[in-house]
């Protein structure tokens, strides 16, 4: 399991609003590109957003599905990157009105495969998620600045 955490100068509500807005994912999540569509009931369990994964010109269409959501506390997603990667990514938030810690835990959905590839994939996923959470902080900061302007 790849685990990453970051403290942000923002409320839990501000961070959760960005996490539950799929249109922001290409701005902060490394590897995400164009959002193609979002189910009308997003972010309810079972809802998906459809996106492109990869770096141009090597992008493929895929989707991300909500497994579980607890507003302002937790968002668990099933992420796919065809042809073989299916993972579960869990964002958890704790904090107050001015600061919050967001953690991101990501692991392959198929446990037997996870045990085999974990020594190679976990450090790479951790590095990607560390940079993604730094970019998430920038997006949250920019959104807050725009709202107060």
Transcribe 41-56 into DSSP letters: TTTSTT-EEEEEEEET
The residue ranges of every structural domain in the chain are 2-148
pLDDT score for 61:
86
pLDDT score for 114:
64
pLDDT score for 83:
62
pLDDT score for 59:
80
With contact defined as beta carbons under 8 Å apart, do 84 and 100 qualify?
A: no
Write down the CATH superfamily of domain 2-148.
START domain (3.30.530.20)
Residue numbers of the chain with a pLDDT score lower than 50: none
With contact defined as beta carbons under 8 Å apart, do 46 and 60 qualify?
A: no
The terminus-to-terminus CA distance of the chain in angstroms comes to: 40
pLDDT score for 13:
96
For 78, the 3-state DSSP assignment is strand
């Amino acid at each position: 399991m790849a685990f990453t955490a970051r403290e942000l100068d923002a409320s839990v509500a501000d961070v959760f609003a960005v996490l539950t807005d799929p249109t922001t994912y290409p701005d902060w999540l490394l590897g995400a590109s164009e959002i193609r569509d979002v189910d009308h009931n997003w972010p309810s369990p079972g809802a998906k957003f459809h996106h492109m994964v990869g770096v141009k010109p090597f992008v493929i269409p895929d989707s991300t599905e909500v497994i579980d959501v607890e507003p302002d506390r937790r968002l668990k997603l099933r992420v796919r990157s065809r042809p073989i990667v299916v993972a579960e990514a869990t964002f958890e938030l704790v904090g107050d009105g001015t600061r919050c810690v967001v953690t991101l835990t990501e692991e392959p959905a198929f446990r037997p495969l996870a045990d085999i590839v974990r020594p190679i994939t976990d450090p790479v996923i951790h590095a990607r998620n560390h940079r993604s959470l730094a970019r998430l902080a920038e997006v949250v900061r920019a959104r807050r600045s725009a709202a107060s302007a």
